Amino acid sequence: MHDNALTCCILRVANSVIYNKGRHPITTVSRAAVVLGSDVLRNICLTACLIGSLLESRELSPQVHTRLVTGMSGSFRAAMLASDAA
């Protein structure tokens, strides 16, 4: 892979407690793809692309940028809490 940030994100998720339950660390994207599955890998890539394009948009005012980051943070927190509760 040529995108270091996306590679790092994929490996971080693959090595999380949810997907790698104390086994050996996952160090390659190909192994992460096997562990995560195509649906999770696709969602990580789409989310990274969407968030990156939104946050790098030069057309956003500082106020909109702050609200966007705050809203995404709240959404991610709620998703994690819902995931833990399930």
CA nearest 52: which of 4, 16, 11, 1?
4
For residues 44 and 47, what is the distance between their CA atoms, to the nearest angstrom?
A: 5
pLDDT, mean of residues 7-11: 91
For residues 13 and 31, what is the distance between their CA atoms, to the nearest angstrom?
A: 12
Q: What residues have CB less than 8 Å from 14, skipping those under 6 apart? A: 20, 26, 31, 32, 35, 36
Cβ 55 vs Cβ 65: under 8 Å:
yes
| Per-residue pLDDT reduced to its tens digit, 15-48 | 988 888 877 999 999 999 999 999 999 988 888 8
Lowest-confidence pick of 3-7, 38-42, 76-80, 81-85: 81-85
